[in-house]
Structure 1
């Protein structure tokens, strides 16, 4: 059986073309389009991610505004910055970079976002809307998973999907999105008993557990579709939550790097474009 390698690059390129069309149409109508990125302190990972996003915004003709607050900023000060951006008509989307420093209540910052400008589904209003199937969008990484499955025409209706991980940013929302596509979904986590046995039942496996090579070939049934969300830095470089050998048993497989992460960054721009 030949494995379909679900590379993220073609998916990202197709999304970019659609985004460009929306942005160009908005600009012709005289509308300014910008993404605001809010950082608190000098976390190196946040600045690397911001640099990537700014490169993508530039390539798509989307403006950007960086709001940098000192590492000693309070929750109230961050919320005030967010509220100013909420009321700015030139800002189509806002991304507060998480995690915030310990003294800042990240949940309160998310709750302060105008739901229509909440690019990574941090607002409880958007999370609740997703739960009842009425959400305009989910967080970027779960939407990237779904975009990949759609692009490669993976059948979802009636399939059994097993999601490894129950985080608010990946596990829970991707489970909800799969439910919306009529999958039967099992969510596994650190307290799940007989986890390998459950994974072996899956037609579709989404691994977002944060452990390098956690999913091994013996845990996957032949022909399963495997989506690897994990990004783990090891001595051998960046690896996923799924051992590479799993690809030999899978019918379709996302590589790490070069899979979900490539599409996730573009999904942020897609969320901006949806506001146009």
Structure 2
């Protein structure tokens, strides 16, 4: 069996096109969406993310400003920057680029962002809302991975799904989103026994661990969907390349559908960021009108 390779870039273009329509509508109402990106220290990974986000924002008609700060900036100073952006009505979304220096607590910064400007969907309020199926500003990566599954000819209701990885930002939100769709979900983590056995029973496997080659063909049920959320830089004789958490070549011979890395979950994640940007702008517009314009 040869898997169907899921084209994340094509899906991202469709989401981006819909976001562009809404962004234009908001701009006509005087609320042109605008994102501000915060990077600390010079890292190749952050620069790549910023380039991708800037390109997709431009395509969706969303303003994008990238601010770079030295690695010596303190958490308190960065918190002050975020407070200023929270108070600026011209800014509708704040993006914190990763990685950050070890001295800066990313969770504290994420909590400092106003929930209505949390376009990454990583504020504790946004994560917690998933339990109630409230996805107004859900976490982008988790939503992207689940949206890919929903695009397949598989009914999530009653589907057996194994999620490998239980991070607060990806694995756990993916599990809650899937349960909200009616799937039967097993979550595996570092202490789980017989991960391969859990995976082999699943109709769909999601993996987000950060270990290249973790999932192999022997771990998959023939015809299962494999959604690889991992992204790892590895050295090869031809030079560095990006790979996921699955052994793509062997898994593609067993799976029914598989996401490539790059070109799978990644582009859809950035498109979800743009979708969140227009949603956040609309929510702020409605909040403003309700508070200051008598609901008009």
Query: For the superposition of Structure 1 and Structure 2, which TM-score range results when normalised by the shorter chain?
Result: over 0.9
Q: By how many angstroms is 1:41 displaced?
A: 2.0
Q: By how many angstroms is 1:135 displaced?
A: 4.1
- Corresponding residue for 2:291? none
- Corresponding residue for 2:18? 18
**1:21-60 aligned within 5 A:** 21-60=21-60
Going from structure 1 to structure 2, the CA distance change for 1:2 and 1:51 (only over 3 Å counts) comes to closer
**1:75-224 aligned within 5 A:** 75-224=75-224
**Quick check: 2:36–2:91 contact (8 Å CA) kept in 1?**
yes
Q: RMSD between aligned alpha carbons? A: 1.5
Mark the runs of 5 or more structure 1 residues left unpaired by the alignment. Answer: none
Structure 2-normalised TM-score? 0.88
**Quick check: 1:11–1:147 contact (8 Å CA) kept in 2?**
no
Supply the distance in 2 between the matched residues of 1:153 and 1:140 (Cα, whole angstroms): 22
Supply the distance in 2 between the matched residues of 1:93 and 1:154 (Cα, whole angstroms): 34
Equivalenced residue count is: 276
Query: Any idea what SS the aligned residue of 2:252 has?
Result: helix
- Corresponding residue for 1:264? 269
Structure 1-normalised TM-score? 0.95
Q: By how many angstroms is 1:132 displaced?
A: 3.5
Q: By how many angstroms is 1:24 displaced?
A: 0.7
**Quick check: 2:213–2:245 contact (8 Å CA) kept in 1?**
yes
Can you list the C-alpha shifts for 1:89-138, whole angstroms capped at 9, x where unaligned?
12111111133212222111111111111122221121222234334232
Mark the runs of 5 or more structure 2 residues left unpaired by the alignment. Answer: 283-296
**Quick check: 2:122–2:138 contact (8 Å CA) kept in 1?**
no
Supply the distance in 1 between the matched residues of 2:57 and 2:198 (Cα, whole angstroms): 41
**Quick check: 1:93–1:119 contact (8 Å CA) kept in 2?**
yes
**Quick check: 2:16–2:59 contact (8 Å CA) kept in 1?**
no
Query: Any idea what SS the aligned residue of 1:235 has?
Result: strand
Query: Any idea what SS the aligned residue of 2:242 has?
Result: strand
**Quick check: 2:209–2:230 contact (8 Å CA) kept in 1?**
yes
Task: State yes or no: 1:240 paired with 2:244.
Answer: yes
